Amino acid sequence: MLSVSECVGDLALLTWAGPHGPRPVREQVEEAYRGLDAAVREAGAAVLQERVFGRLEASPLVAAARARATAASAETWAVPPTFVEGTPAARDGVAGIHVLAVRSESSRLVRDGERVLGRVVDAPGARLLGLGDVGRLAGANGHPRGPAEDAAATIDAAEHVLAREGFSFRDVARTWYYLRDILDWYGPFNEARNAAFRRMGLTGPAGDGAIPASTGIEGRNPRGGWCALDLVAAQARDGQPFEMRRLHNRKQNEAPAYGSAFARGMALAVGGYRYLFISGTASIDDCGATVHVGDFEAQTRQTLDAIAALLDGAGASLADVRQATAFLKDPGDLRSFERLAQQAGLDRVPPVVTVADVCRDELLVEIDATAVVPIGGGARR
């Protein structure tokens, strides 16, 4: 199913939630990209970031279908997607595609030599930068690294590219880390990220640090690296209203309190709308402990309640979510997840649902999301 939100303000959130029915997956992927391309062109937007979830062996199929469907708009789709091993919960091949597009007055590609890393877009209300799979740079020298070293090198590479483009990590609203074999080294990953953010001066007391929202989840990549990192950064344009602020959740404590340097969410106010980037959220209580061990339905309700509380603090609800990803440890829990998500109101747009380990072995589900609400109390769309 293709879900295309209106290009409200400066951003458009586009999702294809995977193939359905007997038609070949290749045909459905190509059709999906034709629909995505039409939506981007109609909005006068440029693709800032794209993530594809599926079996690794499906990545060549997706690349070929994408190239055919977007051949007439090659510049718009010039930033390569980040392909993440997100095994479909109910079908073969591809779980889904997320695209973030930005209404563009002008844009340029971010390159490392011949490789395209991302895009900088001058939108009507802000300057935005998106980078995809920065881990490609960390492994560029050919020297083998351990997983924590690879993560540290990836963050360092992102910092370098941001600086080169006139940004810094203080401008980063959202990060996504996809980690190979996450359960083996999530602690060392957190230590590497914490050390980098301390060095950058981003951590602060009482949840005041300028750290971004984040997802950290299991996900191999086709190049075999330990860490893939995507990010979105934003800056004000002269004379345009702009705000980026950290969100706090009354139902969960700050993640740095238990060693993870990320914000529960970030609000980006630009172009008349507030975009709420909700970090990967799981069944964790207000002290940082896992709750409802072994009970998928209770963990899912706890997770959805936590996301709803975070959104409520920003003047939004689950009905305002325009893009979401759900990571299930056991594909057999798909039907329960779908029923609970619908009951909670997370059904206006279809989430991309994949099978993946969460950062703790006892966690059975994680959900991340992006919601959109108008600034100033206008009608919601």
pLDDT digits (tens, 9 = 90+) for 87-113: 888 767 899 999 999 998 899 999 999
Q: Which residues pair with residue 230 across a beta bridge? A: 176
The mean per-residue pLDDT over the stretch 149-173 comes to: 97
Share of the chain above pLDDT 90, in %: 78
Do the domain assignments include residue 379? no
Higher pLDDT, 259 or 128: 128
Radius of gyration of the chain (CA): 19
Q: 36: pLDDT confidence band, cut at 50, 70 and 90?
A: very high
Task: Answer yes or no: is pLDDT of 350 > 90.
Answer: no
Predicted local distance difference test score (pLDDT) of residue 7: 65
Q: What is the CATH number of the domain that holds 316?
A: 3.30.1330.40
Do the domain assignments include residue 380? no
Q: Give the pTM.
A: 0.95
Segments forming the whole domain that contains residue 120: 2-374
pLDDT tens-place string over residues 166-201:
999 999 999 999 999 999 999 999 999 999 999 999
The mean of the pLDDT values for the chain is: 91
Do the domain assignments include residue 381? no
DSSP per-residue letters across 117-170: EEEEEE-SSEEEEEE--THHHHTTT-----HHHHHHHHHHHHHHHHHHTT--GG
Do the domain assignments include residue 132? yes
Do the domain assignments include residue 252? yes
Q: 208: pLDDT confidence band, cut at 50, 70 and 90?
A: low
Predicted local distance difference test score (pLDDT) of residue 378: 43
Do the domain assignments include residue 138? yes
Do the domain assignments include residue 293? yes
Give φ, ψ of 83 to 5 degrees. Answer: -95, 125
Q: 380: pLDDT confidence band, cut at 50, 70 and 90?
A: very low
Number of structural domains in the chain: 1
Task: Answer yes or no: is pLDDT of 4 > 80.
Answer: no
The rounded distance, in Å, linking the Cα atoms of 180 and 191 is 16
Q: 209: pLDDT confidence band, cut at 50, 70 and 90?
A: low
Predicted local distance difference test score (pLDDT) of residue 288: 85
Do the domain assignments include residue 370? yes
